[in-house]
Amino acid sequence: MRILFIGDIVGEPGRRVVGKLVPRLREELGADVVIANGENAAGGSGITVKTAAEIFAAGVDLMTTGDHLWDQKEVTTLLQSEPRFLRPINYPPGTAGQGSTVLQLSNQAPLAVVNVQGRTFMENLENPFRALQAELPRLRAITPLIFIDIHAEATSEKIALARMVDGQASAVVGTHTHVQTADEQIFPGGTAYLTDAGFTGPHESVLGREIQPVIRRFLTNAPQRFEVASGRVLLQGALVEVDSNTGRALSIRRISEAAPAS
């Protein structure tokens, strides 16, 4: 099985490049499933019903999220009614939505996907390590193919979590920092790992936002409006190939594709 994972989609430029590139990449890379982190898809902060529909229409099979989950009030509708939409699994019991799901793919074994959020330098949710320890045995009783998006700030937290689940998950790929790392590898137990998939959107920017307002904020500490930038749009992520029988990763490579000329 080949899994194409797309790093944080930022605003309209990110949605646009997903729409243009995902159909082609799916065919060229032989991807059986496409997963994307969509928490910044609506104006660079949060996600709406309309922006989610646009991303699904482009060929994304499932969306994960993170700490900007609640930035758009419409997200409650997605959490309550969209089975292809995940929020971090380590929210307290009773929170709307789901933190994991099992995708039934045609001519493929089922693929379980888990979304989990770190706590270091972030909102203090339930313990992500404990949440995965509780969830993975349930999922492994269904399928050996398990993909985890860990949305976290601290590299150490991402690596520690991935090392803990080595051999229990097919892949652990990080999101949130918007900076693609160069540490793709397969751990001894067969789990593919990448600290951060990068982001999908305008890279002539500061993490997807216009440059000068961010600089002014650092210079003056005065509030600024951080609009989504527009230049040099890239789709970033990772392609993971997994043995469908064992769930062990066979390969992982980074993806960074420029938007085609309009």
Give the residue numbers marked as catalytic: 68
Residue pair 141/102 in contact (Cβ under 8 Å)? The answer is: no
Which two tokens mark 32? 């059986």
Q: How far apart are CA 71 and CA 193, in angstroms?
A: 29
DSSP character for 70? Answer: G
Helix, strand, coil percentages (3-state) for the chain, rounded to 5, are 25, 30, 45
Which two tokens mark 31? 């991807």
Alpha carbon distances (Å) from 181 to 4, 101, 176: 16, 27, 12
Q: How far apart are CA 25 and CA 255, in angstroms?
A: 10
Alpha carbon distances (Å) from 110 to 7, 137, 167, 175, 253: 22, 15, 18, 23, 22
Place of tokens 């993490």: 207
